Structure 1
Amino acid sequence: MMWPFYVMAVVAIVSTIRVVTNTNPVHALLSLIVSLLAVAGIFLTIGAPFAAALEVIVYAGAIMVLFVFVVMMLNLGQHTVEQERKWLSSDAWAYPALMSFLLALVLVWMLGYGDAPSTLLMGKEMVGPKVVGQSLFTHYLLLVEVAAMILLAALVAAFHLGKREPSEEEGKE
Structure 2
Amino acid sequence: MDAAFFIAAGIAVLATLRVITSYNIMHALLYLVVSLLAVAVVIYVYGAPFMAVLEIIIYAGAIMVLIIFFVMMLNLGLETSEHEKAWLRPRIWIIPGILCLILLGEILFLIIQNRQPAGNIQVVEPKAVGMALFGPYIIAVELTGILLMAGIVGAYHLGRQQKKISHRFLENFEL
Q: What range describes the TM-score normalised by the shorter chain of this pair?
A: 0.7 to 0.9
Secondary structure of the structure 1 residue equivalent to 2:120: coil
Q: TM-score, normalised by structure 1?
A: 0.76
User: Which amino acid counterpart does residue 90 of structure 2 have in structure 1?
Assistant: S
How far the C-alpha of 1:157 sits from its partner, in A, is 7.0
Could you list the structure 1 runs, at least 4 aligned residues long, displaced by more than 6 angstroms after superposition.
none
Contact preservation (8 Å) 1:49, 1:128: no
- The number of aligned residues is 158
Q: 1:75 to 1:6 in 2, by over 3 A?
A: same
User: Which amino acid counterpart does residue 143 of structure 2 have in structure 1?
Assistant: M
Segments of 5+ residues of structure 1 without an aligned counterpart are 169-173
Q: 1:101 to 1:86 in 2, by over 3 A?
A: same
Cα-to-partner distance string for 1:9-32 (whole Å, 9 max, x where unaligned): 111111111111111001101111
Partner of 1:145 in structure 2? 139
Q: 1:122 to 1:61 in 2, by over 3 A?
A: farther
Segments of 5+ residues of structure 2 without an aligned counterpart are 165-175
Contact preservation (8 Å) 1:2, 1:122: no
Q: 1:11 to 1:86 in 2, by over 3 A?
A: same
Give the whole-Å Cα distance in 2 for the aligned partners of 1:113 and 1:10. Answer: 21
How far the C-alpha of 1:102 sits from its partner, in A, is 0.6
Give the CA RMSD over aligned residues. Answer: 2.8
Partner of 1:107 in structure 2? 107
Same amino acid, percent of matched pairs:
39
Partner of 1:171 in structure 2? none
Give the whole-Å Cα distance in 2 for the aligned partners of 1:74 and 1:5. Answer: 38
Cα-to-partner distance string for 1:105-126 (whole Å, 9 max, x where unaligned): 1011112214xx21xx255324
Give the whole-Å Cα distance in 1 for the aligned partners of 2:151 and 2:99. Answer: 37
